[in-house]
Amino acid sequence: MRKLRGVLQRSHPYPGRLIAVEGIDGSGKSTQLLLLERWLIAQGYRVHFTEWNSSLLVRRSMKRGKKKDLLTPTTFSLLHAVDFADRLTYQIVPPLKAGMIVLADRYVYTAFARDVARGVHPEWVREVYGFAPRPDLTFYFRVPIEVSLQRLLTGRTKLKYHEAGMDVGLATDPVDSYRLFQSRVLDNYDKVTGEFGLRVIDATADIPTQQKTVRREVERMLQQYDGPRTEKQIDGRRRREAQ
C-alpha cells in the first residue's frame, strides 16, 4: 500500500507523552498496560488512561446498531472515529498539553486492522483518521489466533458477536468465524506494524517477561521527557525556576 502523505507521520507538539497498546482480543495488551500504569504512577509520573470506544457520545448509537445489526462496515468504522475524535478533544490532547503521560488502550491502528478486515478501503480509513497525532510509542502484542481464543474462552463461555466478526458473515459458528475474521485482522496488523513502526511484543511470553520489555522501552522513550511528576516535584521545579 502506498504511504499516505502526512497521516500519523509527524510527532505531536505537546510536552506530554502518548503511549498506545494494540493487539487482538485476548492478546493480553490491557493487562500489560495496567502493569505499566502501576509502575509509572509508582515512579511519580502523572498518568491519564483512555480506552477505545468508551465515550458516552456514541454509546447509544453503537448499542442500537449492534443490537439490531444495523451497522455496516462503514458506519461501524465512522462511529469509532466519532468516539476517537471526542476522546482526542477531551481526554488525550488536554493531558498531553499539561505534560502528562497518556496511556491509550487501542489507538487508530485498531481501525486500520479491524475495519479493513470488515471491508472498508484501507486508504479511506487512514484518511479519516488523518487528524490523529502519532503516539510516541506503540506496542503491538502479537499472538496466534489459537492462544487468544483459549484465553477468551477460559474467561467466559461465549464470544461476542462483533468480536467474532459474525457481522462479516464468514462462518455461522462463532468460533469458526472468530478464527477467520481475526486472522484477517492479524494480517492487517502485520501491515500496519511495518507501515507505522509499531514495537512488536511476543504476547505468548509470560506476563513479567513482556512487562520487562515494555518498561525498558518506555524508560528509553522517557529519557528526554520533562513533564510534571508529583505535586511535590512540580513545586520543587517551580522553586528552582524561581531562583
Partner 1 sequence: MAAGGAKRSKSWFGHGLPYVPMGALPGHLIVIEGTDGVGRSTQIERLSPWLELEGWAVSNTGWTRSPLLSETINEAKAGHELTTTTMSLLYAADFADRMEHQIIPALKAGFIVIADRYMYTVFARNAVMGMDAAWTRQLFGMALVPDLVLYLEIDVERLIPRVLEGKGMDYWESGMHLALGDDIFDSFTRYQTQLIGEYNRLARQHRFVSVDARKSVDDIQGELRAHIASHLQRSREAAARGRSATDRVARARRG
**Contacts for 198 with CB less than 8 Å, ≥ 6 apart:** 22, 109, 138, 139, 140, 192
Which 3 state secondary structure label does DSSP give 74? helix
Distance linking the first and last C-alpha atoms of the chain = 55
**Closest distance of CB 128 from partner 1, Å:** 6
CB nearer to partner 1: pick between 106 and 229: 106
DSSP for 30-69? HHHHHHHHHHHHHTT--EEEEETT--STTHHHHHHHHHTT
38 grid coordinates: 502501576
Cβ atoms of 94 and 46 closer than 8 Å = no
**Closest distance of CB 21 from partner 1, Å:** 23
240 grid coordinates: 528552582
Give Cα 141 distance to the centre of its chain: 11
**Closest distance of CB 15 from partner 1, Å:** 21
For partner 1, the binding residues (CB under 8 A) are 57-58, 60-61, 64-65, 70-75, 78-79, 81-82, 85-86, 89, 118-121, 123-124, 127-128, 130-131
CB nearer to partner 1: pick between 123 and 202: 123
CB nearer to partner 1: pick between 43 and 74: 74
Beta bridge partners of 22: 140
CB nearer to partner 1: pick between 90 and 158: 90
Which amino acid, residue 151?
Answer: R
Give Cα 208 distance to the centre of its chain: 20
**Closest distance of CB 183 from partner 1, Å:** 18
**Closest distance of CB 118 from partner 1, Å:** 8
**Closest distance of CB 52 from partner 1, Å:** 15
193 grid coordinates: 506494524
CB nearer to partner 1: pick between 75 and 150: 75
CB nearer to partner 1: pick between 11 and 75: 75
- Which uninterrupted H or E stretch holds 126? helix 122-128
